[in-house]
Structure 1
Amino acid sequence: MDFSKIEFLLSVHSLKQLPPLELPEIAFAGRSNVGKSSLINTLTGRKKLVKVSARPGKTQGLNFFRVADYFFLVDLPGYGFAKVPKAMQDGWQSLISTYLEQRKTLRCVVVIMDIRHEPKSQDTQLIEWLKQNSIPCLPVYTKIDKVSGSIREKNARLLDAGHTLHAEERVLFSSKTGQGRDKLEAALTRFLLTP
């Protein structure tokens, strides 16, 4: 599937703004600053499709990108240490959880984690919540170019254990080198082709 024929559609800040249920959707979630924007840019082969920010909390709505007439990529606001007012964070949480629970065209949630950090409770809670709600998820460990091979394997095993995952259930990814892009694209294509 060609992920490069992509264009920004709209930024959703309330449920009534959601586009019609016409195409399958893949959502991208992760703590602030785990490399979500860079991953989407690498996946689509577009360097500046999603703005990469050094300031956590830059994404403040559900950003919908249309990939040809095939599907939507949905960039969710980062969670964690975003320096935004608590009321705004609470609003995001309500919008995101309702979207994830009720969106009939949602095929998968890509949960992005930085391989350099130990398992975080928020990631664990999200993965468990998705499983409990029968929402398919694909964990992706990013920034693998920033650690050596032996450390990468050790950290990946720690994240697997911390989130109760098996190695075949996740993807190792580098936005800098493109490593893992083909595996990620193949995994997402399987989710998109599953009714």
Structure 2
Amino acid sequence: MHKFLIVGFVALIIFWTNPNHAKSLEGLYFSEQLPTENGYLILGIEIFTEKGKSFYNAQELRFQNSRGWEEVLFVGKVTREGQDLLLTPEACQIRATDTWGKKMALLRRFDCDHLQFRLGTRESGLFVISESLLGTRKEVILPYVLDPVAGNPVAVRFEAPQMTTEGIWGFHLNGLGGKNPEWAWNPSKQKWEPFQGYRTQEGLQFYRWKRTFSN
């Protein structure tokens, strides 16, 4: 009986201290602004659960000097393999515009259910995905991990020389109509705080709006 209790207690300790069990992997994951041969890209992934099953939205903003802006959109399912998550897309499309601020038009849809992306962690604790959505970059580190806010509009704000103003880009942003966000992500405290104006700090900044029917 004592041996059984000891084994059970050890198993519970392992379960509680394993970060993949102790913390849900739902949330938002973002890369840095990564240079490419002709421009740069930013990758964002939203993982969420519905009716006990896990799904994801993935978006990749790409700028190329010769082509302007593209937004790659993947949606699909999430399964677990060992300590990693496997992201399998079920629908994929690319939108594009030649000028920042103009509405992006659908460029093409394409079959992508043969693809698979592996999301895991390095020894440093940083999350890494096997490659960017179109394979431009391999082993993409996702240093920004934000608390889950499934379905809420969330944007990353960044500066780029190709824009007249800073870029606002992210998930579920339709219908905001120029409204200010309600929350800002505090990276040092790792939590959302009430919005008190856009910050002037370097690097990526993250903001969240309240979800409405128009979103």
The structure with the greater share of residues assigned to helix is 1
The structure with the greater share of residues assigned to strand is 2
The two structures have a TM-score, normalised by structure 2, of 0.28
Structure scoring higher RCO (CA < 8 A, sep ≥ 6) equals 1
The two structures have a TM-score, normalised by structure 1, of 0.30
